[in-house]
Amino acid sequence: MSHAVQQDLEAILAGTAARKRESSILDFKVAKSDLKDAWADLAEAAVCFANASGGTIVVGVSDTPGGHGAFIGCDLDENMLRQRIYHLTMPGLLVEVDVVRFANKRLLAIRVPEGLEVYSTTRGYTYHRVNDECLPMRPAEVSRLAEERRGVDWSAASSSRSLEDVDPLALRQCRRLLSNSVDSRRQSYARLSDHDLLRSLKAVGDDERLTRAGELLLCTAASSGPEDAVVYQHRKTQAGEPDAIMRLGTPLVLAFDELLQAIRARQGITPVTLADGQQLQIEDYPMAAVREAVANALIHGDWRARLPVSVEHSSQYLKVTSPGPLVSGITVDNILTKGSRARHPALASAFRLLGLAEEVGQGVDRMYREMIRSGRDTPLISDNNDQVTVLFRGQSPNTRITKFLATLPPEEQDDTDALLIVLVLCSKRTITAKQLAPIIQRSELEGQTVLRRLSNDPSMLLEPTRGTANRTQPTYRLTADALTRLGNAVAYHGRTSDEVDRKVIEHMRDYGEINNRTVQRLFDVDVYAARDILKDLVERQIITRTSEQTRGVAVRYGPGSLFPAAGKKGKPPKNKRVTDLEDKLF
């Protein structure tokens, strides 16, 4: 039994209802009283997981209520159960069944692997796991899953259209994309003959006809897709009437470019100047993230459904919706880290060769990184089994986060795990490997490795809290330097930290005085934040006003009555507000 399931059982024992711990990979059941019914019920549950991403069925735990009473126990023979599940499924499904002793009860843990085929019960019923439910599969869903698991590429099949049907403008666009690439290998494709280029794009099949991928990518009025391949709507407000509607048909290579131009034309820009003088232009929705979302929708959307990709754009959100569910084995809970496979490999290959999409499995990472680096929340990805939606929330960028991330080592700026940790710790004081694991979609061990790395050179971004530093898995927080540089991007950050005191005291020992402008420069804060820092230091009598001027940024301050003497050990006194804050932090 995995460590994660052990933790779920402990949570149930502590009072949480089992149904609240169920997920796309975990189910709790009580064996039916009739032996044949029990076998059939558990075989059905195993089919459900096998047709999704696999999972664990714990038998002997009641859905409600939580606590010791939830553990009913199970007296089914584990070897017989394993055998019966095999014989009650088509094709025969091999599972692992382990006896688990917990809360003085005998439980069974059935570990179901992700299937290599589509499974059903011997009665002919086919189910799959959707979130925490076991649902019947529709014929179209069975067909789609069967093709994906057998490696059948719908997009590589012949469309019966001849090479003469290729739109000359679409082919010219392909050559332009390849010629403008920084990759010399891609540039070389631009010099190929038309036929060889189409071959390289997997747009031509063995019958010398265009494949469905070739038709969608390069032909007008593609019969392999809907009349409108993409529908774009722009609204000034999310609930207002559209002020722009575009219906774009194939070829996709032209529709993709036209759609991105329409989005870019309606983008706002926020300029941000970094400490080194470099200026960044932050878009309302980072185009690199939007580009990946649109490319994923066109590549992985199920064109067999004959429904368009939908893009809704307003100042409140930008939403990209594609027909069909996520590719088999991919869920919203593993999409960042599970090795992806394309639903339409031939079409995906063409998009990648043209530079319109990242390598398989990297696009979602890039969406996350671009959103965080622009000072915004990560995209919201949802899958309701009929369509997949990627939602970018419109919000003013947190420029302090953008400036801070730009100072990290280059390798950390491109590390999705590191960026997610920074984002989380801007609103949450501490984090552990256990809390981090589901956020970065990795194991606790991998989460601990990331946290440890960020607490060492060259990053020195995190530090273990004093009370947990000697534990195997400490609790981590941002360092004082990181807190100071992030400033008001950190919701809980107290300005009168030891680090702020230390810098102010060091400056005054060197120069004898300080003012608002100096504090702004020392901590990279605005005039109002600097004012609050000075006010707190005055209240604690660390500094005192020395100039006759009483208002403005030029007011000078000198050492106060409680300013630490040179060489004196110890820390400046803190007011009660600061003490209370640090009690919560540590």
Question: CATH code at 319?
Answer: 3.30.565.60
Q: How many CA atoms lie within 13 A of 140 on its CB side?
A: 10
Closest of 573, 581, 498, 506 to residue 542, by C-alpha: 573
CATH of the domain at 440: 1.10.10.10
| Residue-level pLDDT at 585 | 39
26-29 and 55-59: which strand pairing? parallel
Cα angle: 460, vertex 424, 440; to 5 degrees: 90
Specify whether 201 is located in the same domain as 316: yes
E strands present in 60-138: 89-90, 96-102, 105-112, 120-121, 127-130, 133-136
| 287/365 same-domain check | yes
Q: Using CA atoms, how far apart are residues 7 and 277, in angstroms rounded to an integer?
A: 49
Of 457, 461, 423, 465, the closest CA to residue 440 belongs to 423
C-beta separation of 2 from 98 below 8 A: no
| Inter-residue contact 318 to 263 (CB < 8 Å) | yes
Same-domain check for residues 131 and 152: no
**Buried b or exposed e, range 45-59, using 16+ CB within 10 angstroms:** bbbbbbbbbbbbbbb
The string of DSSP codes covering 208-273 is: SSEEHHHHHHH-SS-TTS-S-SEEEEEESSTTS-EEEEEEE-S-HHHHHHHHHHHHHHT--EEEEE
Domain finish residue from 395, 429, 459: 395
Q: How many domains does the chain have?
A: 4
Torsion angle of the four alpha carbons 436, 329, 7, 448, in this order, in degrees rounded to the nearest 10: -30
Q: Is 281 exposed, middle or buried (0-12, 13-18, 19+ CB in 10 A)?
A: exposed
Q: Count of alpha carbons within 13 Å of 350, Cβ hemisphere only?
A: 31
- The domain in which residue 421 lies consists of 400-489
| Predicted pLDDT at 557 | 94
CB atoms within 10 A of CB 12: 27
* pLDDT (0 to 100) of residue 492: 75
Q: What local confidence, expressed as pLDDT, does residue 527 receive?
A: 80
The per-residue pLDDT for 275 is 79
CB-based contact 438:337 (threshold 8 Å): no
Check whether residue 147 and residue 91 sit in a common domain.
Answer: no
Same domain, 133 and 143: no
Whether residue 209 is found in the same domain as residue 75? no
Cα separation of 463 and 536, whole Å? 26
Look up tokens 């086919």; give the residue. Answer: 126
378 and 359 co-located in one domain: yes
Return the pLDDT at 572.
Answer: 56
Give the H/E segment covering residue 411: helix 410-413
pLDDT of the residue at 536: 86
Label residue 474 left, alpha or beta by phi (over 0 means left) and psi (-120 to 50 means alpha). Answer: beta
> Among residues 395, 426, 456, which one ends one of the domains?
395
Give the tokens for residue 572: 């400046």
Looking at the fold, whether 148 and 133 belong to one and the same domain comes out as no
Q: Do 432 and 532 belong together in one domain?
A: no
Distance in angstroms (rounded) separating the CA atoms of residues 254 and 578: 59
Query: Is 194 in the same domain as 282?
Result: yes
Instruction: Report how far residue 92's alpha carbon sits from residue 87's, in angstroms, rounded to the nearest whole number.
Output: 6
pLDDT of 579? 44
Sign of CA dihedral 63, 66, 69, 71: positive
User: What residues have CB less than 8 Å from 538, skipping those under 6 apart?
Assistant: 544, 545, 557, 560
Q: What is the mean pLDDT of each run of 10 residues along the chain (586 residues)?
A: 86 94 94 95 97 95 91 96 97 96 96 95 94 92 90 94 97 97 94 96 96 97 96 93 96 98 94 86 95 95 95 96 91 84 91 84 86 96 93 92 92 95 94 94 94 91 92 93 88 66 89 91 78 88 90 89 74 49 41
Domain CATH code at residue 8? 3.30.950.30
Is residue 153 located within the same domain as residue 265?
yes
Which of 346, 366, 395 is the C-terminal boundary of a domain? 395
For residues 106 and 144, state if they share a domain.
Answer: no
